[in-house]
Structure 1
Amino acid sequence: MKIAFFSTQPYDKIFFDRLNVSHRFTIDYYETHLGPHIAHTVKNTETVCVFVNDKLNAEVIETLSNNGVKIIALRCAGFNNVDIEAAKRYGIKVCRVPAYSPEAVAEHTVAMLLTMNRKIHKAYNRVREQNFSLNGLLGSNLAGKTVGVIGTGKIGKAFIRIMLGFGCKIWAHDIYPDNSLTEQGVQYVSSEQVLKEADILSLHCPLTPENHYLINRQTINLMKTGVVLLNTSRGGLINTVDIIEGLKTKQIGALCIDVYEQEEKLFFRDLSSNIIQDDNIQRLMSFPNVLITAHQAFFTEEALKEIAEITLENIAKISTEQMDDNSPSMLT
């Protein structure tokens, strides 16, 4: 089988080539993302392998189908960038990696929180300049703080376990409460109550039409003044214009994001010699209480190995019709 692999980074090739030894697929790697601009060139291949910023709308899926593509293999958990209904219409199977090292994302979320809270990034730069003053580096204890968690799937659950270890009180919201978390003292409440009570609010939910711009002017006004907001899920959960306003009014005390709603134009590439045209990301980067990483929460040795392993196994099973339609990996 031949696979057209899009949004390729050097580490993708290393891990997929290593795990492909047993499958022996032919993989053609492309650095460009998959979208309307290049879909027509995908020919003589049964499978496309895509990532978070590839755009597979109805137009792209129709073109892929006409060119003989039978499988869309997402090497990520989220699938908001794929028109699932269009894939069904054209008979294309869509699979994903529903869970890959949830600890990787959870630990990165906590790392961002600790960095921002204790000003580690600022202290590091100061000391390198031989400035050993502590002025402006005051943090606060996490113990005893109320942490609000929206979304308690595998990643949210891993994050909660860590925060319980810090001695935090956890208030959570999910349409499917986890009884094992309740037994550990986690309180499930309404999303509105989570927003109102959290000293620290962390988002761990998929992006759906229902929760697009979950964080907006109205929900920000419900929050405690000075709340710390964390997002390592999907950029579209936050209305960037409204969050900028919340930072300016100091309603938002600090913001840590590993995702951004317009990230496909920025992330996973070196733009150090470019003039960035996105005024919103430039404004966010100007705040001293904003910490941004470029979608790296998943980026661990263990996670990349799992992603490659599960993605290739999904393709192998679908190609031999061994994949159970009820498998969490299958979307169509």
Structure 2
Amino acid sequence: MVDMSLILFLEMEKRGSVFRPHSPPYKLRFKSVLLTNWPNIMSYTVILEPEQYSPSALALYAKLGSVSSERLPGERQAEELADARVIVIRLGRVTKELLDKVPNLQVIASPTTGLNHIDLEDVERRGIKIVSLKGRRDITEKVYTTSEHTVALLLSLIRRIPGFNQHVLQGGWDRQRFIGSEISGKTVGIVGCGRLGIRVAEILHAMGARIVGTDPYQSKDKIPSWIEMLSEKDLLQQSDIISLHVDLRPENEHMFSKEQFQAMKPGAFFVNTSRGQLVDESALFDALRSDRLAGAAIDVMDNEDPEGEHLKQNPLVEYAQTHENLLLTPHIGGATKESMAMTEDAIALEVLAVLGHST
């Protein structure tokens, strides 16, 4: 510990994308700041998915020291990671190979509720702290984006909006070409009646749908009286639409497989904005190809890769390229300007607290 109460600190007005006190280019202003913890000033943060990252979150990380906030090629990224105490991700994978490049890592920051993109076993072995939204209902209760996206996908699917849009772009104006369906009067099955499931149910209930639900983990006193709780079997048989809102656990991987799709009401619609691993993609493909399902909309896929490697030769992707009853989006349920800024700021504050740095 350096024994001083006051130092001259360089306050940097960033021109590039890396905050680093010892190298240009910066406009510099001298500012006096109290120094309470010298080692924290020397911390180094790398934002691995920096696109449109919250400026206020970046400013918070800068209180720890240098911040790298651009995508760098392999060798340059390795140099940045070698000094990192904190890495910040969204849904990018944190593997053993990545962790090997960050020998001084103390904290992984991920503004997500799910952590299946992180090698948790290796992280625990190395004694690295994870800061995330998991269990942070004080934050997630204010985030409505995934429920909104679920309803948007569902409406796009059953009203066949993408098909109509493409028809118009090709010069057509035939309103009879794609006849869709409406929410009112339909039975919607909510699988997983937690925060997001209930929020989706509230929206669809207001649109005139009958809501049925199933959730063995949720206490009945937390479920609105207008949601009819059923067994999974009865829900599958009765629902015109099924929306999946379940946390991923080892025991529920591929909880929707051939058996569940065959048990569903013929001609039903299926929506998944939870986690891709919950669904057996080959079984979903078979249910669509055989017309067992009228359509599906999914925002999440198994083995997601930020570079899109999981899409290559994927039967669902190939099906969607020639059929308008399967909608795919790249895990954007929580990706709005407002929600991302709020959660990124909250996670940055938590990282500072974990490292003993006051704000």
- The TM-score, its normalising length taken from structure 2, stands at 0.76
Residues matched between the structures, number: 305
Deviation at 1:22, TM superposition (A): 4.6
- Looking at secondary structure, tell me which structure has more strand per residue: 2
Residues 191-210 of structure 1: pairs in structure 2 closer than 5 A: 191-210=232-251
Give per-residue Cα distances to partners, 1:54-84, cap 9 Å, x unaligned. Answer: 1335x654x267x111111112111012233
Q: Which amino acid aligns with 2:50?
A: T
**Corresponding residue for 2:91?**
52
Which residue identity does 1:117 align to in structure 2?
I
2: distance between equivalents of 1:165 and 1:80? 33
The question of whether the paired residues in 2 share the 8 Å contact of 1:244 and 1:284 is answered with no
Measure, in 2, the Cα distance between the counterparts of 1:318 and 1:84.
Answer: 18
What is residue 127 of structure 2 aligned with on the other side?
A: 91
Could you report, residue by residue, the CA deviation over 1:211-244 in whole angstroms, capped at 9, with x for unpaired residues?
1112211111111111101011111122221111
Residues 61 and 67 of structure 2 are in contact (CA less than 8 Å); yes or no, is this contact kept in structure 1? no
1: CA distance, partners of 2:222 / 2:182: 23
Greater CA drift, 178-187 or 300-309: 178-187
2: CA distance, partners of 1:232 / 1:23: 30
- Give the CA deviation at 1:207: 1.9
Q: Aligned-pair distance for 1:265? A: 5.4
Tell me if 1:5 matches 2:40. Answer: no
Does 2:332 align with 1:292?
Answer: no
Q: Who is 1:31 aligned against? A: 71
* Amino acid corresponding to residue 280 of structure 2 in structure 1: N
**Distance in 1 of aligned mates of 2:73 and 2:276:** 18
Contact 1:6 1:33 in 2 (8 A): no
Alpha-carbon separation, structure 2, partners of 1:305 and 1:229: 30
Provide the C-alpha distance between the structure 2 equivalents of 1:251 and 1:156, rounded to a whole number of angstroms. 24
Aligned residue among 333, 337, 347 for 1:301: 337
| Closer/same/farther in 2, CA of residues 73 and 22 from structure 1, 3 Å limit | closer
Task: Pick the aligned partner of 2:313 from 278, 284, 291.
Answer: 278
User: 1:315 matched to which residue of 2?
Assistant: 351
Structure 2: which amino acid aligns with 1:211?
N
Letter in 2 for 1:190: S
Asked if the contact 1:202/1:230 (under 8 Å) is kept, the reply is yes
Secondary structure of 1:27 counterpart? strand
**Identity between Structure 1 and Structure 2 (%):** 22
- Structure showing greater relative contact order (alpha-carbon pairs closer than 8 Å, 6 or more residues apart): 1
Paired position in structure 2 for 1:104:
145
Matched, 1:214 2:255: yes
Shift of 1:204: 1.3
**CA RMSD between the two structures:** 2.7
Distance 2:306 2:109 in 1: 22
Gaps of 5+ in 2: 1-42
Deviates more, 1:291-300 or 1:99-108: 99-108
- For 1:201 and 1:87, the matched residues in 2 are separated by 35
Separation of aligned partners in 2, 1:40 and 1:158: 44
Contact preservation (8 Å) 2:188, 2:211: yes
Distance 1:33 1:315, change over 3 A: farther
Structure 2 equivalent of residue 135 of structure 1: 176
The verdict on how the C-alpha distance between 1:289 and 1:53 changes in structure 2, with shifts beyond 3 A counting, is same
Cross-structure match for 1:145: 186
Specify whether residues 55 and 193 from structure 1 end up closer, same or farther in structure 2 by C-alpha distance, changes over 3 A only.
farther
The 1:30/1:175 distance shift into structure 2, 3 A limit, reads: farther
Using structure 1 for the length normalisation, give the TM-score.
Answer: 0.82
2:127 partner amino acid: G
Q: Is the 8 A contact 1:76 1:96 kept in 2?
A: yes
Q: 1:250 to 1:69 in 2, by over 3 A?
A: same
Unaligned 5+ residue runs, structure 1? 270-275, 323-332
Residue 93 of structure 2 aligns with an amino acid whose one-letter code is D
Residue of structure 2 in register with 1:20 after alignment:
58
